[in-house]
Amino acid sequence: MTVQIALEVTGGVQLYSCSPEQPFWIGRDGACDVVLDAGHISRRHACIEQAAGEVLLRDTSFNGTEVDGRVIVQGSEVLKLPAQLVIGRHRLIVRSPRVTASPAAGNLTEVPAEVRRHIQRRLLDHLDLARFSPTRVDAVEMRPKVITALESICDSMRQVLPDESVRARLVEELTDEALELGPLTALLRDPTVSEIMVVDPETIYVERNGLIEETGQRFTDDEAARAVIERIVTPIGRRIDESCPLVDARLPDGSRVNAIIPPLATRGACITIRKRFASRLQLSDLVERESLSSEMARFLADSVRARRNIVIAGGTGSGKTTLLNVLSGAIPSHERIVTIEDAVELQLQQKHVVSLEAKIANLEGRGAFTIRDLLKNALRMRPDRILVGECRGGEALDMLQAMNTGHEGSMTTTHANSPREAIARLETLCLMAGLDLPLHVVRHQLATSVHLLVQQARLLDGTRKVTCIAEIIGIDPDGHVEVREIFRFDQTDVDAAGRVRGMFSPTGFLPTFTDDLMRQGLDPLGVAP
């Protein structure tokens, strides 16, 4: 393995290659591979050797070598790459070259972070970008200037960056990092990507077709990643810093963003982006994708038109919000709809829609408006239907009361892995409302408010399916909420390609409100004579 050595010098970074065949010497002697001319550095100060797949530093000096904060004097140390060495006043980085896969430019040798930081500093000095706030930088106006400056800087570093294709790709990446969202920019433009997950500044994953894969993309460092977070949250009045190290936000296109930084994120800035679909999905699209059957789609659409109250349950990333958005398309256009979300994701096609978004507290700890606050206010806004993006606290009780007091046809989502678990979760959330209600009262409220539970799941092959549609039919003799399945998905096997196979089928039970549907001219299950 050829090891790469990066030496920080005045005006830039010098790169060296250390082959496994012979020792790589650092010292004051002109015959050394890296010559450091200073009195406190020995003639042959230290060397780097490779053996049995390990990289070894051997110090032969009197003053020693600092290795990742520990001083080694006339001794040896196995290096854990990347490793930082300090010899006198000089800093060196020992690392193994990595290859980054890039859809736009093929496989390129990765440019060390030290080189990228040096170029960024020169760019800041050239254009004085530091004086611009994230909300004042006009990316369209500044982009040509930034590209010209970066091309000039990279061309002056041909000794460090001899490959023209690497320089061109680096200019593109650093331009995006200076003005837009860095390596996330291209991923956001990729229509095959549904979710972006930054584990740390050097590790970025995406979800494609329900499956997670590593991209090979990276930020220059944690500072660059945090600058991108600032660029996202500042325009919408959110903040993130050590006193408030996590934030929920959204991009201008409606994509949902969650960011968390140290000290909570121990590996560095962590970002998760749930992309918003460019085009609005229809129920027919979900049928075509085999997320549910045509009979299930017709039944759900007719239930929405008949003003049934619906709760969509599922795990994280199972497609609950997408399904809620699709089902909203069946709401008649003449009705007044109020949507309430932590971060706006719903894309209703009706005109008469009031969209409300929760707000966090300001620096003084005041001014917060929760989902529950907005839900209580929505009841005074004369809504025909209320759509809550997700119930995760005491607002569940307010939602049930709204469903039961003249706002039929309302919908929400919650986290649960089955209809029975969804019932238990809703009961728990209602008890969190702080009203000290007996459990049997909560269960009665639930049984009389919610008509349908729709279970959404992401299967092992990454596909998302409606695995169950169930009706809440009342309270059983034991005092529990009784649920009856109407449709379900039965998995049969997994084929050689890893695809889950199964069948959507009705259970044979008719919903108790079948007569109501038929009186409205709806025939969802084909039961009309």
How would you write 200-223 as a 3-class SS string?
ECCEEEEEECCEEEECCCCCCCHH
Question: Which structural domain range is residue 388 located in?
Answer: 283-519
Residue 317 phi/psi, 5-degree rounding, is 75, 15
| Distance between CA atoms of residues 188 and 53, nearest Å | 39
Two structure tokens written together for 161: 């960056």
- Pairing state of beta strands 411-415 and 310-314? parallel
- Residue 374 pLDDT more than 70? yes
Pair 361, 315: CB distance under 8 Å:
no
Domain boundary among 54, 74, 95: 95
The CA-based angle 62-64-66, given to 5 degrees, is 170
Tell me the CA end-to-end span of the chain in Å, nearest whole number.
77
Residue 212: give its domain's CATH number: 3.30.450.380
Name which residue leads in pLDDT, 451 or 125: 451
pTM, full prediction: 0.68
Domain boundary among 31, 65, 95: 95
Give yes or no: residues 91 and 16 share one domain: yes
For residue 529, is it within any domain?
no
For residue 41, is it within any domain?
yes
Give yes or no: residues 90 and 105 share one domain: no
Q: Give SS3 for 348.
A: coil
Give yes or no: residues 202 and 317 share one domain: no
Q: What is the pLDDT of residue 139?
A: 60
Residue 71: give its domain's CATH number: 2.60.200.20
Residue 382 phi/psi, 5-degree rounding, is 55, 55
Give yes or no: residues 261 and 370 share one domain: no
For residue 66, is it within any domain?
yes
For residue 35, is it within any domain?
yes
For residue 77, is it within any domain?
yes
Give yes or no: residues 109 and 223 share one domain: yes
Q: What is the pLDDT of residue 110?
A: 64
Residues with Cβ within 8 Å of 142's Cβ and at least 6 positions away in sequence, in order, are 127, 129, 179
pLDDT digits (tens, 9 = 90+) for 167-188: 888 888 888 888 888 889 888 8
Domain boundary among 243, 274, 305: 274
Closest CA to 464 of 342, 352, 321, 354: 321
- Residue 328 pLDDT more than 60? yes
Give yes or no: residues 219 and 117 share one domain: yes
Cα 138 vs. chain centroid, distance in angstroms? 25
- The count of structural domains within the chain is 3
| Distance between CA atoms of residues 183 and 219, nearest Å | 7
Give yes or no: residues 104 and 176 share one domain: yes
Residue 395: give its domain's CATH number: 3.40.50.300
How far apart, in Å, are the Cα atoms of 179 and each of 116, 136, 144, 173, 265?
15, 11, 11, 10, 25
For residue 528, is it within any domain?
no
Give yes or no: residues 339 and 396 share one domain: yes
Local confidence band at 523 (pLDDT 50, 70, 90 cut-offs): low
- Residue 106 pLDDT more than 80? no
Q: What is the pLDDT of residue 527?
A: 44
Give yes or no: residues 514 and 373 share one domain: yes
For residue 527, is it within any domain?
no
Helical axes 371-378 vs 395-403, angle rounded to 10°: 20
How far apart, in Å, are the Cα atoms of 475 and each of 373, 409, 418, 448, 487?
30, 21, 18, 9, 21
- Which of 228-232, 334-338, 421-425 has the weakest average pLDDT? 228-232
Q: What is the pLDDT of residue 109?
A: 47
Give yes or no: residues 445 and 357 share one domain: yes
Q: What is the pLDDT of residue 2?
A: 66
Local confidence band at 140 (pLDDT 50, 70, 90 cut-offs): low
- Residue 283 pLDDT more than 80? yes
Give yes or no: residues 140 and 49 share one domain: no
- Per-residue DSSP letter, 70: E
Pair 466, 291: CB distance under 8 Å:
yes
Q: What is the pLDDT of residue 107?
A: 37
Give yes or no: residues 439 and 496 share one domain: yes
